[in-house]
Amino acid sequence: MKRSKEIFVKVRFIITEKDERRGFGVLKNMKARWLSLLLVMVLLSSLLVGCGAKKEAAPPVPEEKQAVEQVDIRDIADEYFAQMPENNRIIKSPALKERIDAGDTDILVIDIRPPEVYAKGHIKGAVNIPFRKMHEYLDKLPADKEIIIACVTGQTAGQAIAILNMYGYDAKSLYLGFDKGWVGENDFPVDTAEYKLPQDVTPAKPDPAIAQILKDYFANLPDNNNIIDPEELQKKIDASEDIMIVDIRAPEDYAEGHIKGAVNIPFRKINEHFDEFAQDKPVYVYCYTGQTAGQAIAVLKTLGIDAYSVKGGFKLGWAPAGLPVEK
C-alpha cells in the first residue's frame, strides 16, 4: 500500500507541473487532473489487485519417466535357443586348428580344465580359466572376440558357453573337447607354454540382475558339475525314483531307441517347451555326446529347473555301458 501512495504522489506532481507549464485554465486543469487521476487510480487498482491476489501455482510438469525395460532371464533363455546357429555353437578341432595356424586374432581359446592338467599340455595360445572359477572372469573377457571353450570331452564346455552367450559373448565349445577331440580324435600337437588373458579389454555388459544369475551358476556348482553317470541314472530308474528324463536328440533317433521313460524334446526346440520341464523334481537330459545336453541344462538351471546332463550322452555314455534301451 505504501508503494501505491508513493506512485500516486509522484504521478500527481508530474501532472501538476505539466499543467502549469502549458498554461491551462483552472477549469481545464481540474478536468485534466481529474481525468489523469482517474486513469492513475484505475492503474493503481489493477496493480493492487495484481499484488494482493495469490497466484495459482502452475501445475508441476511431470518428469518424463524413462522407460526402463525389465530384462527377464526367461527372455534371455528363449533367445538363446531361438538364435541357435546351424553348428549348435560347436566347432570341430580341424576348423579351430586351421584358424590358429593362420594366426587368426579374432579368437580367444580358453581351456577350462584344472590348472595342473592344463600345464601338462593344451592348445597353442589357450589361456586357463578353471570351469569352477568362470564367474570370477565373466567381466574380464573381450566381447569383440570369438571365444572357444575347451574342456576334457566338451560337456562342461557346453555349460560354459551357454552361460557365456547368455552373458553377451560369442562363444563356442570345442567338439569332444581337448582329450577326446583335439588329441584323441585328431592327434593334434599340444603346447605347454602358459598364456595370459588379454588386458584392457571391453567385456560384455548384461543387465546387472541377469549378470548375477549367470555368475551364480558357476559360483554354486555342485561337486558333480551337474553331470550324472549313466549307471547312476539307471539305478534311479530301477528304484522308480520320481525323476524326469529328457532326450534332446532328433525325433528319428529317439524312435530308434532311448532311455526308459524319456520324453523327446529336440535340442533346437527346447525354448518352445520350457513349461514342460518339471519344476518339482530332478530332470536328467541327454543328447548324443553330452555336449548339447550341457548347454541345455545350463540354460534350464538359470530358470530354476534342477537339471543334469548324462555323462557321454547316449552315444558315448549310455550305449557303450550296455544299459537298457527301449523303443
Catalytic annotation, residues: 287
Query: Distance (Å, rounded) from C-alpha 203 to C-alpha 138?
Result: 8
* Separation CA 81–CA 274 (nearest Å): 11
Helices (H), 121-172: 155-167
Q: Which residues contact 313 (CB under 8 A, 6 or more apart)?
A: 286, 287, 288, 289, 290, 291, 293
Cβ neighbors of 32 (< 8 A, separation 6 or more) are: 15, 19, 24
Give the three-class secondary structure for 308: strand
Which three cell numbers, joined as nine digits, stand for 51? Answer: 499484488
Distance between CA atoms of residues 70 and 33, nearest Å: 74
Residue 206 phi/psi, 5-degree rounding, is: -75, 175
Show the cell assigned to 196: 595370459
3-class SS at 295?
Answer: helix
**CA terminus-to-terminus distance, the chain:** 103
Query: In whole angstroms, what is the distance from residue 176 CA to residue 152 CA?
Result: 7
What is d(CA 290, CA 309) in angstroms, rounded to the nearest whole number? 7
Task: State the Cα–Cα distance between residues 85 and 46, nearest whole angstrom.
Answer: 78
CA distance 318 to 289: 10
Nearest CA to 175 among 82, 105, 89, 113?
89
